[in-house]
Amino acid sequence: YILVMVDPDAPSANRPSKRFWRHWLLELLSGSMLTGSVLTAYQGPMPPERSGLHRYQFFLFRQPSTFKDRFEVKEEDWDAVGRERWDLDEFVVKYDLCGLLAASYQYSASRN
């Protein structure tokens, strides 16, 4: 499976100019312990001060067998690739992630 965590409200819900901020990307997940290969290291919620509520979205996709064959960025470079303005839709199409199995979100806000 592939797990994606993004913030579609970066830097604020009123002006999401950096949507979708990529907070976490794992592949080859198996079992209930979220063990797999880290493509983007976890970065917890960090909404800027006075930016209001942010939705942190989680998507779980079935990983197609062709994922690695299509993968253009080396795994060790994924943290270096910009996290802001990540095109989640393009990623889903490019890597044929048509098997969305689950989605969830949480709200978070900064301490003002």
User: CA angle 7-12-15, nearest 5°?
Assistant: 110
Type and span of the H or E element at 93 = helix 88-94
Q: Which residue has the higher pLDDT, 55 or 68?
A: 55
Q: Is 56 exposed, middle or buried (0-12, 13-18, 19+ CB in 10 A)?
A: buried
**Residue 104 CB partners (closer than 8 Å, separation 6+):** 57, 58
The domains found in the chain, sorted by start residue, are 2-109 (3.90.280.10)
Predicted TM-score (pTM) of this structure:
0.82
In whole angstroms, what is the distance from residue 21 CA to residue 18 CA? 6
Highest mean pLDDT: which range of 12-16, 28-32, 95-99: 12-16
Query: What tens digit of pLDDT does each residue of 21-55 get?
Result: 999 988 877 766 667 788 888 888 888 888 888 99
